[in-house]
Amino acid sequence: MQYIKVAQTDEVKPGEKKKISLNNKVLLLTNVQGTYYAIDNKCPHMGGSLYEGKLDGGTITCPKHGSVFDVRTGKVVKNGKIVFINLKVNDTKAYPVKIEGTDILIGME
């Protein structure tokens, strides 16, 4: 696994998020109470940009149909709905994050 520098710690304060383009992927970097996490930005359901969603503590809500993901693990914590149809949405991928000094690095295969 290769760790790639993506941002400085002061760019993403607690409760904030940032969209990162890395190796032909778009990732969502979040800061949850001082710890940084990275998941795929693209919702596994129909590709909604999770960055456009609401970050609430450790979860982000897809702006398209309301599925809720844990930004720490990428797991779905609540399936969204289209009109009255309940969705079954897959988990999104989580990536390891490490801090070196003031650099934020994301691990890629």
* Minimum separation from the CB atom of position 87 to ligand FES (A): 6
What span, in angstroms and rounded, lies between the C-alpha atoms of 95 and 6? Answer: 13
Q: Helix (H, G, I), strand (E, B), or coil: what is residue 11?
A: helix
What whole-number distance in Å separates Cα of residue 45 and Cα of residue 66? 10
- Secondary structure (DSSP) of 20-84: EEETTEEEEEEEETTEEEEEESB-TTT--BGGGSEEETTEEE-TTT--EEETTT--EEE--EETT
Q: Is residue 62 at the binding interface for ligand FES, with CB under 6 A as the rule?
A: yes
27 binds ligand FES (CB under 6 A): no
- Is residue 48 within the footprint of ligand FES (CB under 6 A)? yes
Interaction between residue 67 and ligand FES (CB under 6 A) = yes
Residue whose CB is less far from ligand FES, 40 or 104: 40
Helix, strand or coil, per DSSP, at residue 10: helix
Q: Does 45 bind ligand FES (CB under 6 A)?
A: yes
Quote the least distance from Cβ 5 to ligand FES, whole Å: 29
Determine which residue in the list 12, 80, 92, 104 makes contact with ligand FES, applying CB under 6 A. Answer: 80
The site for ligand FES (CB under 6 A) is made up of: 43, 45-48, 62, 64-65, 67, 80, 89
